[in-house]
Every structure is written in C-alpha cells, then in structure tokens.
C-alpha cells in the first residue's frame, strides 16, 4: 500500500511537470487558499499568531500587505517551473513510519 501511495504522489508530480493545470482548477485552488489565508485573520488570537509568524519568517514586514496578491497572481506556467525546479528525485526522500 505504501508503494502505491508513493507512486501516486510521484505520478501526480510528473503530470504537473509536463502539463499546465486548467485555469478553472487554479481559480478553485486560489479561492480555497484565499479563504484559508483570510481565515487566519478571523480572531484576535489568529491575527497575533499570524503576525508573530510573519515577524519570525520575514526580514521586513513592508511586503505583508502585498503577500496575498502575490499568491493570487500565480500562473499555470509558474507552477510548472516551480515543480520542475524543486520537486526532483534528488530533492526528495520517502520516510516510512511503522506503527508500534
């Protein structure tokens, strides 16, 4: 079963490396991402966690208002380029965790 799961993941990555996702699919994912992103600002506690994470990961908070727009401007060709650049067999490993 584990080999089938690994095979499915690498098969999907190979598909993303060679073909563009449809505009409809990308729009659906962007809407889900935007909903999740804005959900991180729903409560005072969520805002505090979001801002503390931003302070720890970003060198400068000036770009924070532009962050969502940057993600919303991703194109299918951007995705193909990123998958080909970062999701290679040299950059991956499979960790098998066995239950006790």
Number of domains within the chain: 1
Angle, CA of 79, 85 and 35, to the nearest 5°: 30
CATH classification of the domain holding 50: 3.30.830.10
Considering the domain boundaries, does residue 33 fall inside one? yes
Q: The domain containing residue 8 runs over which residues?
A: 2-91
Whether 96 maps to a domain, the answer reads no
Q: Which residues contact residue 40 at a Cβ distance below 8 angstroms, ignoring those fewer than 6 apart?
A: 46, 47, 49, 50
67-91 confidence digits (pLDDT tens): 999 999 999 999 999 999 999 888 8
- Per-residue pLDDT reduced to its tens digit, 21-62: 999 999 999 999 999 999 998 999 999 999 999 999 988 888
Rounded to an integer, what distance in angstroms lies between the CA atom of residue 71 and that of residue 31?
11
In a domain, 99, yes or no: no
Q: Is residue 14 part of a domain?
A: yes
């Amino acid at each position: 079963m584990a080999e089938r799961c690994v095979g499915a993941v690498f098969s999907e990555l190979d598909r993303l490396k060679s073909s563009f996702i449809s505009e409809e699919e990308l729009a659906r994912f962007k809407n889900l991402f935007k909903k999740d992103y804005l959900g991180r600002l729903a409560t005072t506690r969520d805002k505090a966690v979001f801002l503390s994470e931003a302070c720890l990961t970003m060198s400068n908070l000036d770009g924070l208002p532009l962050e969502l727009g940057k993600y919303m401007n991703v194109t299918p060709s951007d995705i193909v380029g990123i998958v080909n650049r970062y999701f290679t067999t040299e950059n991956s490993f499979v960790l098998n965790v066995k239950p006790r």
